[in-house]
Amino acid sequence: MSTEKLTEREANTYSPLTLAFLGDSVYDTLVREHLLRQANMPVAKLHSAKIKLVCAEFQSRAYDLLAEELSEHELAVLKRGRNATGNTVPKHADAAEYRRATAVECLFGYLYLTGQDQRIKELFAVMMTLEDNENG
């Protein structure tokens, strides 16, 4: 992996869907690590737990939580991702959920490219509070 971070200006040249493409992988890796550190369990259980956290529905619910925690610039990136056109909506999500999930992934991709690893961890922790609240 490249460790060369981009400037905000350089990162802003990428389309929101391109940033979401990368952000999806960043977020997925964080979820996998989070689940692995929670418990040593069979891969099938890990996969089932992962699916609940990487789905558009969960990411869409996390959108509002994240929006409250963001700087003005981060919020602009989030909204840019939400307003991106060209996404095809999967069968298991409605268009509004999918756009909000894309926005979250766009933000994670942007933060990753600009080398803001600590900020990614902070925002991921905010998202996991939603999981904690839903699981009791």
User: Which value, in Å, is the radius of gyration of the alpha carbons in the chain?
Assistant: 15
Which candidate in 24, 94, 117, 132 is catalytic?
24
The answer to whether residue 117 is catalytic is no
Per DSSP, the three-state class of 96 is: helix
The dihedral sign for the CA sequence 95, 20, 134, 44: positive
Q: Which residues are catalytic?
A: 24
